[in-house]
Amino acid sequence: MVNENSTQTIEPTVRIGPKHQVTIPAEVFKELRLKVGDFLGAKIRNSEIVLRPKKLIPKDQAWFWTKEWQKKEREADEDIRKGRLYGPFTNAKDLIRSLRSKKK
């Protein structure tokens, strides 16, 4: 929003409600593509409140986002890129036969 009497931009302002709630201005909400029910992370930086859109990970999915898992995912992606693959197999018997032949 631009003030008609100057070239200075006026930033959207919010008021803190009785339950510490704030309403995100519509233009900010739209620009960040937020949806009702989304989560925001809140932290203090240089005496300012910083809100960031946050995606929550269900507890049963948390392992997939650990450093160890992500490292193995990158290794698997590299193997796929370099063609280090077996299969596809039409049945389990062929898969087991292939795995056993690779051991030798």
- List pLDDT tens digits, range 79-99: 999 998 888 999 999 999 988
8, 29: one domain:
yes
Shared-domain flag, residues 33 and 11: yes
d(CA 56, CA 63): 13
Q: Which domain holds residue 41?
A: 1-55
Phi/psi of residue 53, each to 5°? -55, 140
Q: Would you say the pTM of this structure is higher than 0.75?
A: no
User: Which runs of E-coded beta strand occur in 1-104?
Assistant: 39-45, 48-54
Residues 64 and 49 in one domain: no
Same domain, 50 and 70: no
> How many angstroms separate the first and last alpha carbons of the chain?
71
Number of structural domains (the chain) is 2
pLDDT, one tens digit per residue, over 8-61 is 668 888 999 999 999 999 999 999 999 999 999 999 999 999 999 998 888 899
Give CA–CA dist 33/50, Å, rounded: 17
User: How much is the pLDDT for 87?
Assistant: 87
